[in-house]
A and B are shown apart, each in its own frame.
Chain A
């Protein structure tokens, strides 16, 4: 009986992590997350400013648009001769895009 009872406590003590290991693991995890957040902040991607920063890399620098030509309206207007017009348009090169408007600029005045 003593030989059967003794392995039980040994197995339990072998599986239970030592407090020191738990502390070291928690500290390591904390440091990893801390470093990740620090790198993210240093690169300008503050998670507290997520809505603003999320668009930083995707938006065009020019924000102002001049009055744009609305292609939907012009196509509707040509609908009476749909086949001819659409065929003719398909062979023509696409019109050059309108020049981008100058960005708003603050300068010494």
Chain B
């Protein structure tokens, strides 16, 4: 069975499409064009994107395309589902933390150094004001309402949504995989007995944490190591914020992988698991399964993922973190 396999830069990362017959090449080209269009409309870093224009619009109710309405609905759904832990209204805090521009292509500092400098670990908490509750999508009017000045970030939710939209387009193909930079959606009409095999990358080791077998569904990973930067004051920042403080969250979990029927749900669960810390993560990953990687690099398999893994994880090497304040 021939499959078309293409990777290309998009959404600040490298995206990948693997599509089986029929018409794999044509479907891949159309899917790529759709992903690039979604990126152009939903990127916070493009001033001409529809999302950026919405965030800059002084009106309360702003006409919005079906794609933008779907993205905002998805972001609000994630916030509702997590009681505000996955909050789409943290754009200002993200920019203050150092994520005002896309950091695509930048080399991240060593995660071990950042962990050594990080504050005491604690679970993230929702923003007391819950400003995301002020966002409304009016399908009849074709608009999005929110207080002017309340900026919305699509972030990883946008990638999950993109993978799900593509999966809907590709569901008639024998096999397909949409890798939206960590958010994967796989499926197809001929996956029985030949499930997709997906490696879970370790935050710093070359060997993967393990391999999952998924015939139809989604898996997403959220982690602090990919968008990590050194601040001018000597500390480190990353893009996963504690909504309560508006500061980068250091919870004791550095990466969380979640399985779910859709990439949107997987992305939401993965982010909520990371923000909740080791104990709370188990709750978010219990239903569909997942893996967390703790600060010391040790992975923990949770729920049904233990039955879907292919390889036993080899013993992990614990890193010795430098003491706080060490040069």
Write the residues of chain A forming the contact surface with B, with a CB cutoff of 8 angstroms.
Answer: 44, 46, 49, 51-52, 55-56, 59, 61-68, 101, 103-109
Contact = CB atoms under 8 A, between A and B. Distances in A.
Interface of B: 1-5, 13, 16, 18, 24, 156, 159, 177, 179, 181-184, 186, 193-201, 203, 208, 211, 213, 219-227, 255, 257, 307-308, 310-312
A106 B201 contact: yes
A108 B221 contact: yes
Contacts of B211: 61, 103
Given A104-B186, A104-B197, A106-B198, 13 more contacts: A51-B193, A52-B213, A61-B311, A63-B194, A65-B1, A101-B5, A106-B179, A106-B182, A106-B184, A106-B200, A106-B201, A108-B182, A109-B181
Contacts of B186: 104
With a 10 A CB-CB cut-off, give which of A61, A103, A105, A106 has the most chain B CB atoms.
Answer: A106
B174 to A, nearest CB: 12
Contacts of A55: 193
A97 to B, nearest CB: 16
A61 B183 CA distance: 20
A109 B256 CA distance: 11
A37 to B, nearest CB: 16
11 contacts: A46-B307, A49-B307, A52-B308, A59-B310, A61-B311, A65-B5, A106-B184, A106-B200, A107-B182, A107-B223, A109-B159
Contacts of A109: 13, 156, 159, 181-183, 221, 223, 226-227
A62 to B, nearest CB: 7
A106 B199 contact: yes
Contact of B222 (A61, A103, A108): A108
B184 A104 contact: yes
Given A104-B179, A109-B182, A65 B3 contact: yes
B198 A105 contact: yes
A105 B97 CA distance: 28
Contacts of B16: 104
A65 B312 CA distance: 24
A103 B16 CA distance: 11
Contacts of B177: 64, 104
Nearest to B222: A108
Contacts of B195: 52, 63
Contacts of A51: 193
A6 to B, nearest CB: 64
Contacts of A52: 195, 213, 307-308
A103 B183 CA distance: 14
A108 B224 CA distance: 7
Contacts of B255: 108
Contact of A66 (B5, B213, B307): B5
A67 B21 CA distance: 11
Contact of A61 (B13, B18, B310): B310
Contacts of B193: 51, 55
Contacts of A62: 197
A103 B159 contact: no
A20 B44 CA distance: 78
Nearest to B14: A109
A55 B308 CA distance: 12
Given A104-B198, A106-B221, A64 B257 contact: no
Contacts of B197: 59, 61-63, 103-104
A65 to B, nearest CB: 5
Contact of A68 (B2, B159, B220, B224): B2
Nearest to A57: B310
A49 B5 CA distance: 30
Shortest Cβ-Cβ A-B pairs, 4 listed? A108-B223, A109-B182, A107-B201, A63-B197
